[in-house]
Amino acid sequence: MIDKSTLALFGNRPHFEKPVACHALFWPSQDEYRAMFRDIFERQYYTNHGPLAQALEQALAERLQVRHAICVTNEFIGLAMLAQALDLAGPVLVPAHASIKTVQSLDWAQVQPVFCDVNPETGMLDARHAAPWLEKHAIGAILGVNAWGGACDLPGLTQLARSADIPFYLDSSQGFGSLVDGTPLGGFGHAEVLSFHADHILNAGEGGVICTQDDALAARIRNIRSNYGMGPSVPVKKTGNGRLSEAQAALALYGLKRIPEYLGHHRRIRAFYAAGLRGIPGISLFQAPGVSLSNDQNLIVQVSAHLLGLSRDELCRFLRTENIMAETGYFQPPGLTPCSLYAESIEDHPHADHFGQTVLELPMHHSLDEAAIAFITGAIEWAHRHAGEIRERLRSSP
Amino acid sequence: MIDKSTLALFGNRPHFEKPVACHALFWPSQDEYRAMFRDIFERQYYTNHGPLAQALEQALAERLQVRHAICVTNEFIGLAMLAQALDLAGPVLVPAHASIKTVQSLDWAQVQPVFCDVNPETGMLDARHAAPWLEKHAIGAILGVNAWGGACDLPGLTQLARSADIPFYLDSSQGFGSLVDGTPLGGFGHAEVLSFHADHILNAGEGGVICTQDDALAARIRNIRSNYGMGPSVPVKKTGNGRLSEAQAALALYGLKRIPEYLGHHRRIRAFYAAGLRGIPGISLFQAPGVSLSNDQNLIVQVSAHLLGLSRDELCRFLRTENIMAETGYFQPPGLTPCSLYAESIEDHPHADHFGQTVLELPMHHSLDEAAIAFITGAIEWAHRHAGEIRERLRSSP
């Protein structure tokens, strides 16, 4: 039973002894991981497209149903090298609330972003909002973002890019395991980049993969990624080192076998949240749009301050006093949105701005059980009923 | 005793059953590495400047006597992010035989290379060869390369850059453990980048570190490396993800404790080579220039075809028939020198061209003992005495 006498904001100990992050890697079986590592040491082959990196690329190509799965040391490098391989002729259209990593990958390939508002229902890029920009600017490509286990308007944007004869590619950082009419994210557009950061359902500590069905594009990406060191040499304007090491590949191969287990865990956690949040005014559980099955990796709610009685940021601060490490957006200093870095205002993109101001991510940490989630949702419900007291207390706290 | 009846080129089995590469990581104690990995899993902290990455940065700063040691996922990323952080105003002077990774790091920061010949004795950049280019072009920086455990002309180039008021920075990929008058490579110029690739004395599978004494430069590098995610936020033109993961940091921390042991091993191997190669016409053992102590990581000989009776490439092919995987240069497709990528000819830089055509790297693999090296040097001596037969046999082999 939650009441003031138990809450940290009112002088008690936090409910969770240690901070509960939004994400944490599922615990691997140390025996299995240890055996993989022993093999790495015995082969004395630590990087440069070693046997584990090759096995991972093959397994990913099969699972994601793509001709080419090209692993990279992190998703940012993948996006920058892909933008370079696409050899773009003009600025790139991106959703106005894309993460800094997504937007700034373009700078390294010497192309500029053009920010576009998103669909007010899905929070993602769609053809209706993108089309006017293609007419106004000489857009060189569309870079969609498949966020929160969902997808942007894949059919509409594919069609729009085709009729403009420009590439359409995707940052699917959070997309591993989601399906669109049964087809895995990874095979859409000219190419997709998926992340294996430790926060994601499939992780390699750091890591990622560029997926494409286009043989010529894949050959250019491989030459760029490995300083001409992999596969037949084709001319490219510049190269670099984006290789995934064997230690990273071992972690990802371990996780790949357990995806069904992880998906099931996400689904159970999500159901507990759905039950606990139902009926709390001002809190709506976000449904991943555009997919037939979501990986449910991100537990996103939208907060209506008017109905809840507290703003999104106030609710976030309250939850954090209990060590519930809710997140209000991609990690960047306050006020530093990608738009502002290019001297633009997010307010010119009202739907993206609205999502940026109302979205809250709650923990999908593997250690959570039904009781833990009942506490989190109970605390939110209590916050609604005692909004005034909480606001006053927050004002007087630093 | 080496004679035709024992040699692979004449139909026998190779002396070494498996290929002996120029480099291989020293074998770590699995118990110790396993313990570090267990801790990573227990902390569930895999990347994002975790405790091992922090411990590594601190240990490196102490050992290399620098204010800032900023770890990165590989050396190429370090060079590209450093070039970006230096905010260069013009093209960058590089030695004409620099590796493709070194030269192309500049393209990602949108600056062009200007190729410069090297000192004919040391094979490295010096002030005498660099100075005329500074007058001819509006050079924005000098990028020296400290290769093969030695150093370029650090005093002369430091002075030259200071008088031209431009940055002087260093690719010290192969420099870890070398000393200049007792001071470790890492602390020279505006910044140095060292590599922890698996081929190097200190390795993290892939990895590297940017070292600098300049607080403002370090703050810019940290913001670029981690999408504004580390340390106080300072304005930079673009950011990315160049983070070193905990798994990489664990390998490097392991190796760092064993550097004296590895240096001793290199020294013993080098002494065996020196004894065996002494007196073979046309073979000179390269002495790392510009350092008071070399890490002896690269065993380089220069081949005079006229005196040896075989060209450098013929000797290399002969050694490879015995599974001695000698190397003739940085890994890139034949004919693809960095110069040629920028429509320049290496022949315009005769000393660099000469080094590129005469240098041969021999194995410094940890598994080699005195007998193995006696075979390698004996085979080279035999090749000198039977140059005609070898050349004829190589001509008829594919």
Chain B positions touching A227 (Cβ under 8 A) are 76, 100-101, 104, 331-332
Q: Which residues in chain A come in under a pLDDT of 50? A: 331
Q: With beta carbons less than 8 A apart as the criterion, state whether B110 and B87 touch.
A: no
Question: Going by C-beta distance under 8 Å and a sequence separation of 6 or more, which residues neighbour residue B140?
Answer: B88, B89, B90, B91, B92, B111, B166, B167
Domain final residue pick, A212, A236, A256 = A256
Give me the amino acid identity at A336: L
Per-residue confidence (pLDDT) for residue B7, from 0 to 100: 96
Beta bridge partners, B116, equal: B95
In this structure, is residue B89 part of a structural domain? yes
Q: Where do the DSSP E strands lie in chain B?
A: 68-72, 92-95, 113-116, 141-145, 168-171, 179-180, 183-184, 191-195, 208-212, 283-285, 299-303, 359-362
A336 touches chain B (CB under 8 A): yes
A328 touches chain B (CB under 8 A): no
B233·A76 Cβ contact <8 A: no
Per-residue confidence (pLDDT) for residue B331, from 0 to 100: 44
Give the C-alpha separation, A276 to A374, whole Å: 6
Tokens of B269: 């191997």
Domain that holds residue B272: 21-26+259-396
Give the C-alpha separation, A270 to A53, whole Å: 33
* CA-wise closest residue to B245 among A33, A331, A100, A198: A198
Same domain for A339 and A211, yes or no, is no
In this structure, is residue B6 part of a structural domain? no
Q: With beta carbons less than 8 A apart as the criterion, state whether B95 and B144 touch.
A: yes
Q: A residues 8-27 near B, CB within 8 Å?
A: 24-25, 27
Domain final residue pick, B256, B272, B290 = B256
B227 touches chain A (CB under 8 A): yes
CA distance, residue B80 to nearest chain A CA (Å):
9
Q: Please state the separation of Cα B193 from the chain's center in Å.
A: 11
Give me the amino acid identity at A319: L
Same domain for B125 and B244, yes or no, is yes
Q: A residues 196-225 near B, CB within 8 Å?
A: 197-198, 203, 205-206
* CA-wise closest residue to A23 among A260, A282, A317, A300: A300
Per-residue confidence (pLDDT) for residue A335, from 0 to 100: 59
Residue A155, domain CATH: 3.40.640.10
Q: With beta carbons less than 8 A apart as the criterion, state whether A138 and A131 touch.
A: no
Per-residue confidence (pLDDT) for residue B282, from 0 to 100: 98
Same domain for A238 and A96, yes or no, is yes
Per-residue confidence (pLDDT) for residue A345, from 0 to 100: 87
Chain B positions touching A44 (Cβ under 8 A) are 24-25, 27
Per-residue confidence (pLDDT) for residue B341, from 0 to 100: 85
**Which candidate from A25, A206, A248 shows the least CB-CB separation from B243?**
A206
Give the C-alpha separation, A152 to A94, whole Å: 11
Per the structure, the count of domains in chain A is 2
CB atoms within 10 A of CB A370: 13
Give the C-alpha separation, A366 to A34, whole Å: 22
CB atoms within 10 A of CB B62: 10
Question: Going by C-beta distance under 8 Å and a sequence separation of 6 or more, which residues neighbour residue A261?
Answer: A26
CA distance, residue B163 to nearest chain A CA (Å):
31
Give the C-alpha separation, A142 to A91, whole Å: 9
Find the angle CA(A57)-CA(A61)-CA(A64) to the nearest 5 degrees: 130
Same domain for A97 and A189, yes or no, is yes
Same domain for A117 and A198, yes or no, is yes
Same domain for B206 and B313, yes or no, is no
Helix (H, G, I), strand (E, B) or coil at B11: coil
CA distance, residue B49 to nearest chain A CA (Å):
11
A245·B248 Cβ contact <8 A: yes
Residue A279, domain CATH: 3.90.1150.10
* CA-wise closest residue to B256 among B188, B218, B193, B207: B207
Chain B positions touching A236 (Cβ under 8 A) are none
CA distance, residue A267 to nearest chain B CA (Å):
22
A75·B251 Cβ contact <8 A: no
In this structure, is residue B145 part of a structural domain? yes
Per-residue confidence (pLDDT) for residue B40, from 0 to 100: 85
Give the C-alpha separation, B155 to B145, whole Å: 14
Tokens of B259: 């550097």
Q: With beta carbons less than 8 A apart as the criterion, state whether A63 and A54 touch.
A: no
ipTM for the assembly: 0.92
Domain final residue pick, B256, B281, B302 = B256
The backbone torsions φ and ψ at residue A273, rounded to the nearest 5 degrees and listed phi first, read: -60, -45
Helix (H) or strand (E) holding B129: helix B127-136
Q: With beta carbons less than 8 A apart as the criterion, state whether A360 and A312 touch.
A: yes
* CA-wise closest residue to B216 among B198, B232, B202, B238: B232
Same domain for A363 and A231, yes or no, is no
Helix (H, G, I), strand (E, B) or coil at A195: strand
Give the C-alpha separation, B224 to B229, whole Å: 9
Give the C-alpha separation, B72 to A318, whole Å: 36
Chain B positions touching A229 (Cβ under 8 A) are 331-332
CA distance, residue A259 to nearest chain B CA (Å):
18
Chain A positions touching B27 (Cβ under 8 A) are 41, 44
Nearest CA in chain A to B248: A247
Nearest CA in chain B to A23: B44
B178 touches chain A (CB under 8 A): no
CB atoms within 10 A of CB B213: 15
Per-residue confidence (pLDDT) for residue A336, from 0 to 100: 66
Find the angle CA(A341)-CA(A319)-CA(A7) to the nearest 5 degrees: 150
A29 touches chain B (CB under 8 A): no
CA distance, residue A279 to nearest chain B CA (Å):
34
Q: B residues 244-263 near A, CB within 8 Å?
A: 245-248, 251
Helix (H, G, I), strand (E, B) or coil at B46: coil
User: Strand pairing of A191-195 and A168-171?
Assistant: parallel
B381 touches chain A (CB under 8 A): no
Helix (H, G, I), strand (E, B) or coil at A111: coil
Beta bridge partners, A184, equal: A179
Per-residue confidence (pLDDT) for residue B335, from 0 to 100: 59
Same domain for A50 and A194, yes or no, is yes
Q: Which residues in chain B come in under a pLDDT of 70? A: 25-28, 330-336
Give the C-alpha separation, B349 to B346, whole Å: 5
Same domain for B358 and B213, yes or no, is no
Same domain for A131 and A46, yes or no, is yes
B206·A25 Cβ contact <8 A: no
Chain B positions touching A237 (Cβ under 8 A) are 107
Same domain for B231 and B277, yes or no, is no
Same domain for A97 and A168, yes or no, is yes
